[in-house]
A and B are shown apart, each in its own frame.
Chain A
Amino acid sequence: MSGHCDGGLRSNIEPNCLEKREIMKKTLNKMAILLLLGGVVFTAQATTPEEDRAAFVKHYKFRFPDVPMEEYPNGAYAIDKIGRENWEAIEEFPPYEPFIDEGQEMWDTSFANGKTYKDCFSDGPGVASQYPRWDKKQGMVITMALAINQCREANGEKALKYKKGPIVPLLAYMAFESRGQVTNVVIPEDDPRAMEAYEKGKKFYFTRRGQLNFSCATCHVQNTGLKVRTEVLSPSLGHTTHWPVYRSKWGTAGTLHRRFTGCNRNIRAKPMKAQGEQYRNLEYFLTYLSNGLELNGPGARK
């Protein structure tokens, strides 16, 4: 936490270090409140999802007072000036564009039985703001990727893999057609299992795991804005607005659950199954946090 100041030693040399430490202390207090908030909910006392979201917003506003809310969908580039310059250059010729075209072709191509995706998604391809959603009948969180495969299977087609491959262009096209919509995750009150799913996702987010002992919050809440090697840790607000992402490191585009897998691997934790219950619940929680933020997928990251 004392990244900007070295925890006291140089205060002899650097007069404003003390002042920085005061600020740091205040940040730490705020942080403790937030982490406690996570902790409190694990016990009996409940905070509402809306209170959770407000606490996240407050925390990031405190950390990045100059960053307007509508910047958060841009991830680390909302807070990292140098990274942003490169990113803006990349966005001039977006590397995800071919994926959108390929996805449109898939959307327009009929299944063997003559039906198309349109028969499942009656509102058309621009439906990303409807996901993830609680499905009362199935008793689970349905993500857009899962809905695609349920559509395929209902029409006698094979399910697609969830991290990379042909599902990515289809998701990219649907994300592109959804641009400008606003994140709006609903946790229906008429089914307590929906809230349970949210709580499970939240618990996953705050639980330390892996040999390296990190929770998602360790990096993306507690240390957001600081650097691991050369990577600036992005805020979790906005984490879900722009998938799939073309990632230079991957040399291709991948899904949100592929990213979850990567973050779990980095801490030497066994990754969960893409689109398994744990990651879907995590996506439910994480996307709820971004309620009110505009969808801007597909995205590009370094």
Chain B
Amino acid sequence: MTISRIRLAQAASGLVLLGTCLVAPAGASEGSSVVEEGKGIAFSRSKGNCLACHMIEGGESPGNLGPPLIAMKARYPDKAKLRAQIWDATTVNPDSAMVPFGLHRVLTEEEIDKLVEYVWTL
């Protein structure tokens, strides 16, 4: 269990880099559509469902189990850290109530990349 978890985490950190590389070169116009898709994933109840726990600008009936998602760029200058929080929040806080979206494969790596682009705009 621990070993496979570590492997997964390693694979993930690899993917973090990969993900950033893939997204970074995208032009501004393409970037904004990625952001739109990320927003869709964040708001969808069957995908990210971030609103279950987080206040997000423009989102209806948010929960307050987690902190409001605002000023993300200022709080996460390092995009990879933001991605890691979404991939598996329990590495930072073992008692975290946040769903480990990557580790438990709730979202695909590609979906998480898009999500990160969107969340970073908040």
Interface magnitude class on chain B: 20 to 34
Which of chain B's residues has its CB closest to A3's CB?
A: B64
Question: What 0/1 readout, one digit per residue, does chain A (1-45) give for beta carbons within 8 Å of chain B?
Answer: 111111101000000000000000000000110010000000000
Q: In chain A, what residue has the closest Cβ to B98?
A: A213
Q: Give the chain B neighbours of A9 by CB distance below 8 A.
A: 70-71, 74-75
Give the Cβ gap from B103 to chain A, nearest Cβ, in Å: 8
- Shortest Cβ distance from A299 into chain B, in angstroms? 23
Which residues of B sit under 8 angstroms from A81, Cβ to Cβ?
A: none
Instruction: List CB contacts (< 8 Å) of A198-232 with chain B.
Output: 211-214, 218-219, 222-223, 226-231
Q: In the complex the two chains form, is A213's CB within 8 Å of B100's CB?
A: yes
CB-based nearest B residue for A31:
B95
For residue A28, give the distance in angstroms from its CB to the closest CB of chain B: 8
Are A226 and B100 CB-contacts (below 8 A) given A6-B68, A211-B106, A212-B106? Answer: no
Is B63 a contact of A226 with CB atoms below 8 Å?
yes
* Interface size range on A against B: 20 to 34
Decide if B53 is an interface residue (CB 8 Å cutoff).
Answer: yes
Q: Which of B68, B97, B105 contacts A218 (CB 8 A)?
A: B97
Residue of B nearest to A218 (CB): B97
Report yes or no: A6 in contact with B70, Cβ–Cβ below 8 A.
yes
CB distance from B35 to the nearest CB of A (A): 21
Which B residues, 34 to 62, have Cβ-Cβ distances below 8 Å to chain A? 51-53, 61-62
Decide: A212 near B70, CB < 8 A? Known: A227-B64, A229-B51.
Answer: no
Please state if A3 and B66 are interface contacts (CB–CB under 8 Å). yes
For the complex, give the distance between the alpha carbons of A2 and B62 in Å.
14
C-alpha gap A231/B105 in the complex (Å):
25
- List B76-92 residues whose CB lies under 8 Å from chain A: 90
* Residues of A that sit less than 8 Å from B by CB: 1-7, 9, 31-32, 35, 211-214, 218-219, 222-223, 226-231, 233
